Amino acid sequence: MANVVVVGAQWGDEGKGKIVDWLSERADVIARFQGGHNAGHTLVIGNTVYKLSLLPSGIVRKGKMAVIGNGVVLDPWALFAEIDKLTAQGVEIGPDNLMIAENTPLILPLHQDLDQLREEAAGASKIGTTGRGIGPAYEDKVGRRTIRVADLGDEETLDSRLDRLLAHHDALRQGLGATPIDRAELRAKLLEIAPKLLQFAQPAWKVMNDYRRAGKRILFEGAQGSLLDIDFGTYPYVTSSTTMSGMAATGTGMGPSAIGFVLGIVKAYTTRVGSGPFPTELDDADGQRLGERGHEFGTVTGRKRRCGWFDAVLVRQTCAISGVNGIALTKLDVLDGFETLKICTGYEIDGQHFDHLPTAAALQDKVRPVYEEMPGWQQSTQGARSWADLPAEAIKYVRRIEELIQCPVALLSTSPERDDTILVTDPFAD
């Protein structure tokens, strides 16, 4: 049977939480493979709303193993705050249903400090980070000075790691006018939380490969979106990790052959949070209407999302780079009632046509979308569970998206409720 990777195919906030939850009921193992607690998933199960940032979506379902892979950067204090919140909602969490890769890098308070200090210093040129220390933690990982989960089990190793880490950060803080880090206080905090964290630590790569050999269904859960990828996103207005499907292999230690089906989550229109290029952004009544009907506010930050028409150019691009086998199209119901809909089919830059978003920032700033108009529909699509429940115009809109992005729809979501989903292709099937 196929293992499934779920990635966002736009700028994040595509509705991955619901889709991952829908799939996780049929999976045995659900693994997060990148990002940190800057990404949020909202799950609606019955009358209960769960808001997750670090924990894989499968944690709310009994009998599933949730895995935080080595590709994630982990704030242990944020993790246990999230665990406490879910426990209060009746979710049981322990080593029997949560595993953390022992080589997972940690986000420390000094990372949050640096994140916020640099954003403040950048002024109008700021990236628009969440200020949660994600970027600085990834920098320390590739700079070979990070503290990883396993390091908390040995004080001598921890001291060595702290020495190298603080030599770097104290110099940075001095340049930004901040006080040096209190080493003793940080060390004490780490040793205090170490026993709580280490009970979940395992060689996740080994356990995951054992699960695979045993025929377990594995669901790989990505965070953010492909257009925020550190290599292929709208750089520098991106996140600090690889958000494409290939990261599922390196972010868990499974290897690329473990990936069976890549499901790209795509919203029926386009949104993004923070700064950066957005070719189809709407600063008019239509954009406001999309934001209001779609409740477009970030799960983690609460920030209002920028809204625009569907950009088939960008989705085609991200589907190609991630090797997407099929998409889950979400929030179709938000488009109910529009007289006319627009889809971006190409770009014009200084009179020249482009069928992709160029890498050069100067060219991105000059992009003008080329639109194709389609008639909207006046009937409601909310809660539709079969093609027969959809207006003809809505079906035409979906089919045109498939043509333009060169990728079929595998799932169609018509409300936040998990059962309001039309299954076209089963991602878990061989």
CA 15 to chain CA centroid, nearest Å: 10
**E strand or H helix that includes residue 370:** strand 368-375
DSSP structural state of residue 36:
-
CA distance 369 to 95: 50
Residues in the chain: 430
Q: Which two three-digit tokens encode residue 326?
A: 């099929």
Question: Which residues lie below 8 Å from residue 59, measured CB to CB, with a gap of 6+?
Answer: 30, 52, 66, 86, 91, 93, 97, 98
DSSP structural state of residue 345:
E
CA distance 128 to 109: 19
Q: Which residues pair with 263 in a beta bridge?
A: 6, 326
Q: Which residues pair with 148 in a beta bridge?
A: 105
Q: What is the CA radius of gyration of the chain?
A: 22
Distances in whole angstroms, Cα of residue 310 to Cα of each of 68, 313, 345, 404: 32, 9, 9, 11
Distances in whole angstroms, Cα of residue 230 to Cα of each of 65, 167, 237, 291: 29, 26, 9, 27
Q: Please answer whether residues 28 and 217 qualify as being in contact, where contact means their C-beta atoms are separated by less than 8 angstroms.
A: yes
Active-site positions read 13, 41
CA distance 106 to 100: 11
